[in-house]
Structure 1
Amino acid sequence: MVKKRFINILLLIMIITILSGCGGAEQTSDKEPEIPKTNQNDIELSIPPVLQNSEGEVLEGDEKALKALKKFINETDTTKQGEVGLSVVDFIEIAGDAPTKYAFMAALVNRSDQEGSDIEMKFTITNKATKVKIYDGDTITLPEEQFGFLKPNHAIPFKITIPDTENITSKMTVQDYDFKWEITNSKMKE
């Protein structure tokens, strides 16, 4: 008897569930349905050939910095819509026989509707603590054959070498430096 009653209750619950799912009872609510929010301005990293090996893979040791750079650009970067900005996220260690051991991992962030190549920039980078300018109006160029095109809603990562005289320590961050820069020449097109 108890078993029969349990089966009847279970059948009744199943019928109500089926009817409510098939439009039998329409539910109304004053709340608007929640639509997942996405950032329409997410920036994609365009990994340039200069940061890839012969198989097109990211150079060993750069993966972590590039992942941090992409996260920083999409969560923290302050480049306004319609502009090209600069993001500098981290120090990276340079492998091999480079004349310096460290570089800044940076990216040009394009939130404009233009694309460009052969971008030339002038940099002044100052150590805030020592007031020493490690770059003082120096020019850095991102040639098309090494860095490709800077497309809308994309960023081109690049490295800015740091002279060994800076004596980078584990306690230092990019916030210890003041970056002033401007694009002085480029092939921009709409």
Structure 2
Amino acid sequence: MGLSDIAAGIEVTAEQRDRGVATVDETASSLAERLADHADALPCAVGEAATVVEVYAEGRAIGTAARVAGIAPMTAAKTLHLLGEQVTPLGPTARDVLCDWLHGELARTDALELTGATEREFALAAYVETHDPIPEAREAVAETLSSGLGGDGDPLAETMSDVGDLREL
């Protein structure tokens, strides 16, 4: 049996309507408006948080974003953490030491010495370990934070090779 035999007797009785592509575009609202629902959970005003995100998304440092927003760098770092950015100043081993301190297994002075962190770094790391990012707020800023970066969110993505490049060598 061929394809023509299978298709024999099939006829079109109606036309398909072109309904277009369904899209959801939340960018019509400003970043501050999208963050407004999470104002109580943020450590600064919504407008300041939006400014921090926008400046940070341009590839500028957290300290610069804080100065532009008119807030302390620690507040800007906490805000970015709650919005889903990785801002912890400690490596994996130092974070384990910090967790030991948080669980009461180590004195603060010992933990601070073992991590090699400054007071500010230690305080920020403790905040990061004890406060989870806000998923809905992360979604509200996801497009803004990824807009200035490469497709996969890495600013150096174009400079890196992948496994396919190894075959060419």
TM-score of Structure 1 vs Structure 2, range by shorter chain: under 0.3
Higher strand share: 1
**TM-score (ref. length: structure 2):** 0.25
Does 1 or 2 have the higher relative contact order (CA < 8 Å, sep 6+)?
Answer: 1
**TM-score (ref. length: structure 1):** 0.23
Give 1 or 2 for the bigger CA radius of gyration: 1
